[in-house]
Structure 1
């Protein structure tokens, strides 16, 4: 059980594996008014930057679960680097099925709602892991601008317009599922650029060093096509944010 190697190559030395930058992640932590000792379960925790920096800055404790062995190892190294390895731990495993020993104060799935086949199913997963009155965090794309055609939809890595809501529709969906939206921090075009462009540099450096690798042709095509796709479609039409929710 692991992610394809291309994911690890693409993310390279990035610590935040979504369109947030460090400033936005810190803003979110402050906005949530996290108390020392707050227990967090981070599903699809990537390289652990959310848990590690919030443990350092706010004194939270918690567990991150991710399917990638490389990302899990990087998260453990980051926890040691920041001196929080006694407060947070990282588990290699299936985030959708992982159950903590006790319900947590905050359960997160930031940018991986595929674990529940969409927002509604992911909220159900998070709800089953929360204490009464606990908070869920969901990271999810949304349409900034209504896509005019199927080429735009596919350029944003969607199969149809229905794959994403617009922002009012997404907020409405939270309410329909029985949750109050209590905070949100949204990516902007600059943070999208920083995330997307970092992939291009990672890919180019890897290609320069691995020209004969079996993945080289596939990743060469990605590096050729993705910058055009990003500037033509994704940065204009697709938004992304993290939404804090409490069940009604």
Structure 2
């Protein structure tokens, strides 16, 4: 029987688990690593999922070495399979464990956490985790949500969040600079990027349910896709934003 893994299914058409187009991802990686194609950076992704960011970096920088950490074993298995297919498996190390628990013998040139700050307790704890694992002069690449506009009570209920869960874009940057970081580049996801991500997420799951009508979890998959689509289109679309920042330590 076809296995059911919601995370793998929803990201099948959009492996980056955040509202970013592929060209935006590559641009951010180049900004974080630098524009030297011969660079040999050590890159860490905390909450790497299926390793899409690391695979992109390894393919673009032949001298790079990367470590991915996540609790999702199925996602890590897919990352390993993709690494083999791309011929970069010898430069990728994967660890199935909570991101906060990972320790390394030496620091990294780039520390990533995009769309996974919840794994470390939120934005500010994520910045602390990055600081502890970053080499002097290194860069952090952090992606998190922010309020595009003040959320209504209905949106907060849909998301299961409080008004203080996020700040506006300016407030988010203020939190980051107040924690001792300087943004050296940033990308605010467009509505088109959000729509592509959400249509891919809900569409892939809905299609799986249609293609496997006899699966015992087909109804669950269809209902989950419909509920997510409703929450997005009738709720947080245009209210919840996403920003990805390249950061250097101020102090």
Q: TM-score, normalised by structure 2?
A: 0.89
Q: Deviations over 1:15-61 (max 9, x none)?
A: 21111121110111233325411111111111112111112213322
Structure 1 residues not aligned, in runs of 5+:
none
Q: Does the CA-based 8 Å contact 2:108-2:138 persist in structure 1?
A: yes
The correspondence for 2:108, drawn from 79, 104, 110, is 104
Match of 2:239 among 237, 240, 247: 237
Partner of 1:171: 173
CA distance in 1, matches of 2:8, 2:83: 19
1:47 paired residue number: 50
Preserved CA contact (<8 Å) 1:41 1:107 = yes
Distance in 2 between the 1:186 and 1:90 partners? 29
Partner of 1:29: 29
Determine the structure 2 residue equivalent to 1:135. 139
Match of 2:67 among 63, 83, 88: 63
SS of match in other structure, 1:139: strand
Aligned length: 243
Measure, in 2, the Cα distance between the counterparts of 1:236 and 1:96: 31
Cα displacement (A) at 1:212: 5.1
Moved more, 72-81 or 221-230: 221-230
**CA deviation after TM superposition for structure 1 residue 172, in Å:** 0.1
Please give the per-residue CA displacement for 1:179-207, whole angstroms capped at 9, x wherever unaligned: 11111122111111111111222212221
CA shift for structure 1 position 100: 1.8
Worse-matched range after superposition: 7-16 or 179-188: 7-16
Which consecutive residues of structure 2, in runs of 5 or more, have no partner in the other structure?
A: none
Counterpart in 2 of 1:162?
Answer: 164
- CA distance in 2 between counterparts of 1:113 and 1:71 reads 17
When normalised by structure 1's length, the TM-score is 0.90
Aligned mates of 1:121, 1:172 — CA distance in 2: 15
SS in 1 for 2:102: coil
- Between 204-213 and 118-127, the greater mean CA deviation after superposition: 204-213
For residue 153 of structure 2, what is the aligned residue in structure 1? 150
* 1:120 match: 124
Separation of aligned partners in 2, 1:47 and 1:13: 12
Which residue does 1:12 correspond to in 2? 12
Q: Is the 8 A contact 1:34 1:58 kept in 2?
A: no
Q: Distance in 1 between matches of 2:58 and 2:138?
A: 18
Which digits, 9 at most, give the CA deviation of each residue in 1:85-130, with x for residues without a partner? 2222222222111112211111111111112211111111111111
TM superposition shift of 1:10 = 2.6
Question: Do the aligned residues in 2 keep the contact of 1:55 with 1:87 (CA within 8 Å)?
Answer: yes
Aligned residue in 1 for 2:86? 82
* SS across alignment from 1:154: helix
Measured after TM superposition, the shift of residue 14 of structure 1 is 3.2
